[in-house]
Each structure stands twice: as C-alpha cells, then as structure tokens.
Amino acid sequence: MVQHPAIAPKRVAVITGAASGIGLAAARRLAELGMRVCLADLPGEALERAAGEVAGIGGSQNVLAVPTDVGRRQDVESLRDKVMASFGEVAVLMNNAGTEGGGGLFGDPQRWQAILQTNLWGVVNGVQVFAPVMAEQGTPGAIVNTGSKQGITTPPGDTAYNVSKSGVKVVTEALAHELRNKPECKVTAHLLIPGFVFTGFTRARGVTEKPAGAWTPEQVIDFLLPALERGDFYVLCPDNETTRAMDEKRIRWAAEDITENRPALSRWHPDFKDAFGRMMEGK
C-alpha cells in the first residue's frame, strides 16, 4: 500500500493521547510500518503499558514514552526537545490527546477549563511547538489533528466539548493554509473527524462491549492512512451506523441554518423536526 511520503521506515511519529484508543492504534500501526514512535500521554501505567506494546512491535530502541500534559506549553516544549534529542526529527505529528465532554453551557467552569485546556490548547500547543520545526526540516511531514463531528454540527447539551472541537477545526484549517503558502514547505495538515468509536471514553460511560454501530480505533487508522496518501484534508470517518451520505446531509443542514436564516440548531428545533427528517430520507 502506498503511504503519505512522511510515513516511511525509520522516520519519526509523535502521537499525543497515545496510551489508549485511536492514539495507541496509530502508534501500533506506524510501528508496524517501520517508523520510530514517540508516545505522549499523562504519566502512569497506561502510558508505560502502551509503550511496551509498541516496543514489542518495533523494538525498544525505536520507541520513546514521554509523560505529557498537552495543555501545558512547557510540557509540549519538553516533548519536542526529548524527541529531537532521541530521534533527530519529526515526520508525523498526531495531536490526538483529548478529554471527554460534560461541559454544559451553564456547567462547572472548572470542567470547561479542563476540556478547553486539553482538547483545544493541547492542539494549539502542539501546532505552535512542532510545526515550525517540521517545516524547517525540508522533508515530507504530516500533522494530523483529531477533531469531532460535534465540532461541525454542534449538537446541544455538550457545549464545552463542541467549542473545543470547533476550535480544533479552525486551527487545523489555518495550519493547512499557512503550510501550503510557506515556500519549500513539504508538511501537510489534516483534520481527522472520527465517527462513533469504541474507546476508553465509551467504556467510561459504562459500556463494556463494543456497540454494533461503533468502529474500533484500528478501523479509524485504516481509514486515515489512505486519506493521508490521497492528500485529503477533511478525513470524515463513517462508522457502522452512519454513512458518509448521512454525515454530508447533517453537515449541510447545519451550514444552511445560516444561509437559510433558520433558528440556531434547527435540527433539534420542533418546528424543523419534520423537514430535517424528510431531508435525511431524501424526500
């Protein structure tokens, strides 16, 4: 299988949120492809265990584990310095670390701060700290930021999470623009938009077995890698219950709230329930 030119044996991948879920699946797969991998996550047994798993694939000399709180700029700078000291370059950066929602509009301000600090500032820190270094290398590179469909359609009820992921979308779009207009730059930017995925977040809600509608983290990475090779910016993932066509209709409806001057979040407005249903059914 052809890969994005940044994904090659002996090149280096840095993955945040790598102790579980999509991040760990990416670390495993890139190690299988011969890359050297740095796993970054909060300190603890989960990170150590994940690093051990990846070392079992690619060899301990090709794996680095760095305890990192991505919401802290100094942690991300330290991560960069340790990766450069150990491996000398960064070819792939996956800003994937995230925390679950639970921040309603009038919810706990501290919960809001925690969500934005990790989900949004973690990506901003990763981009600002790593992108200049990667661009200056003069070699092919890829930066993948993990967003969410909730950052596009912004369903009611989990406002802080929606805000954080909307911010990731905006940051990643700006990054793509900056990189493509930088002379001689060979680094590309991509927004990963997962569907329903069975991860630690799902388990935290008391779901112990993978729901039939969910993808595994490995399926997300299997979908991501060909998209990177094609040069896709928006990597919009389906799942076992939501097709690409369904996502496109929902996203278009959300955008047309503005152009059609409908009420905010009209998809969930009682006056537009039937119209939305007919649209989804293709009527």
Domains present along the chain, CATH in parentheses: 12-241 (3.40.50.720), 243-283 (no CATH)
> Do 27 and 17 contact (CB within 8 A), yes or no?
no
Distance CA 58, CA 213 (A): 32
Condensed to tens digits (0 to 9), the pLDDT of residues 183-211 reads 999 999 999 999 999 987 665 566 778 99
The pLDDT score that the predictor gives to residue 222 is 98
Phi/psi-derived region of residue 101, left when phi > 0, alpha when psi is between -120 and 50, beta in every other case? beta
Question: So what's the pLDDT on residue 204?
Answer: 55
pTM of the model: 0.96
Residue 22 pLDDT = 98
Told to judge if 234 belongs to the known catalytic residues of this protein, a careful annotator would answer no
Q: What is the mean pLDDT of each run of 10 residues along the chain (283 residues)?
A: 93 98 98 98 98 98 98 98 98 97 92 97 98 98 98 97 98 98 97 94 70 97 98 98 98 98 98 97 87
pLDDT at 102: 87
Taking alpha carbons only, the member of 7, 9, 8, 64 closest to residue 41 is 64
| C-beta separation of 121 from 99 below 8 A | no
For position 203, what pLDDT does the model report? Answer: 58
Burial 122-151 (b: 16+ CB within 10 A, else e): bbbbbbebbbebbbebebbbbbbbbbbbbb
With CA atoms as reference, report the closest residue to 98 among 42, 140, 45. Answer: 42
* DSSP β-bridge partners for residue 65: 39
* Per-residue confidence (pLDDT) for residue 205, from 0 to 100: 62
pLDDT of residue 207: 74
| Tally of CB atoms within 10 A around 115 | 26
The active-site residue out of 87, 112, 130, 161 is 161
Q: What is the pLDDT of residue 202?
A: 62
What phi and psi values does residue 139 have, to the nearest 5 degrees? -115, 160
pLDDT number for residue 98: 97
Query: Helices (DSSP H) in the chain: which residue ranges?
Result: 21-32, 45-58, 73-87, 109-115, 121-137, 150-153, 159-180, 200-204, 217-230, 244-259, 273-280
Under DSSP, is residue 63 helix (H, G, I), strand (E, B) or coil?
strand
pLDDT of res. 238: 97
Instruction: Collect all residues with Cβ–Cβ distance below 8 Å to 178 and sequence separation of at least 6.
Output: 131
